[in-house]
Amino acid sequence: MSKSIQIRMIPAAFLGVLLCAAGLLWPESEHKRPLTVAVNIWPGSERLVMACDASKANNLRINLVEMSWSTAVLTAFRKRVVDAAVVTLDELIRLEADGAMPRAVMILGISRGSDAIMAHAGHRWRWDEHRQPKGADASNRQAAPPTMQSLRGKHIGVELRSSSEYLLRHALAASGMSLEDVEVVPLNLAETETAFKERGIDAVVTADPWYTRLTGKGATVVYDSGKMDLECSRVLVVSDEVLRAYPHELRALVSACLGLSTQAGSLDAQNDQDATLRREGLTMEQWQRALQKMHLPGAAENRRLFSQKTGGLEECLKKMSAEMLRMGMLQHEVGVSGLFTSEFLEEAP
């Protein structure tokens, strides 16, 4: 190569370096879309709603999208219509199995009975001769409280591919049964209250706020999430690319959410009660009862559950992944060690 050609190439190479450096140092586009968060209807999600509202006052660009049922939230996350979403742990595992690359950044709430299988209280359930006193007359039997065994062969409304299906399968397995022992009627959560009124449905798998409203209409709890430890927890998840694209917004959102008091009375005082009750479709008395069936962990508890090996989030996810594979809810084994990150918990108050 001649000396003159080499000299002419030096400015071009130098210009390329300058352009690369400018690209790295150039300010972020003002037109980047806001961080979009999908929230389903659940009383424990209200402090996230409050945190999103607070972020607007701090000039953070965070949008909230409310959805009434779980499968809609999962679809929106898979298709990247939203950047973050509130999901249950079994839904987190499903998202990973589907290649959606979810990462939990915070445990929003732990269900202590706010997810349940509910049945008609006055229904004359199947006569069980083995559980009656000797000589009891079947013709004079009284309506007995429903049990999982009494639901054998009955029609149960449930939202498939969601936490409702996991709860139903878990409850059936605990009673020595499987999904094949009942008649499944596909419903989404928002339909469970209406479907319960139809006598063709014997039971529904539901969650608050519908759980609380159904209680007032005579529904009886057959099985609930109070028996399931962390398994019915709800977490805030984002994708890998969102972790990199919105670190400032995520850090502020997690800190604002966990900075809110987890005491029911304080949560009420901090919130716009009218807006909350309207969104959840509850009276103030029902709202207070709903809060008693869930635990909203703060920052310190979140950090502990994310880090501890025994009794923590990782152990729970491993157990659930194995159970879901065994029950046919997964097609292949799912690794869970990379499904969560405590990156945004370290600075939370």
Q: What is the full per-residue pLDDT of the chain (349 aa) written as tens digits?
A: 444 444 344 454 444 444 444 444 444 444 578 999 999 889 988 889 888 877 765 677 888 899 878 889 999 999 999 999 999 999 999 999 999 999 999 999 999 999 999 998 865 444 444 444 455 454 445 557 889 999 999 999 999 989 999 999 999 999 999 999 999 999 998 899 889 887 678 999 999 999 999 998 889 999 999 989 899 999 999 998 999 999 999 999 999 898 875 444 444 544 567 888 888 899 999 999 999 999 999 999 999 999 998 999 999 999 999 999 999 999 998 999 899 999 999 877 7
**Are 251 and 347 spatial neighbours (Cβ–Cβ below 8 Å)?**
yes
The DSSP bridge pattern shows strands 233-239 and 102-111 to be: antiparallel
Ordered structural domains, the chain, with CATH: 35-110+231-326 (3.40.190.10), 115-123+144-227 (3.40.190.10)
Assign 135 to helix, strand or coil.
coil
Residue 14 region, left (φ>0) first, then alpha (ψ -120 to 50), else beta? alpha
- From CA 51, how far away is CA 282, in angstroms rounded? 21
DSSP-derived letter for residue 217 is T
Residue 163 region, left (φ>0) first, then alpha (ψ -120 to 50), else beta? alpha
- From CA 170, how far away is CA 167, in angstroms rounded? 5
Least Cα distance to 115 among 234, 210, 224, 229 occurs for: 224
Q: Exposed/middle/buried for 241, CB within 10 Å: 0-12, 13-18, 19+?
A: exposed
Question: What is the tally of helices (H) and strands (E) in the chain?
Answer: 14, 11
Query: What CA–CA distances, in Å, run from 344 to 48, 236, 245, 339?
Result: 15, 11, 14, 14
CA-only gyration radius of the chain, Å: 25
**Residue showing tokens 């805030």:** 236
Q: pTM value?
A: 0.82
- From CA 69, how far away is CA 158, in angstroms rounded? 11
DSSP-derived letter for residue 39 is E
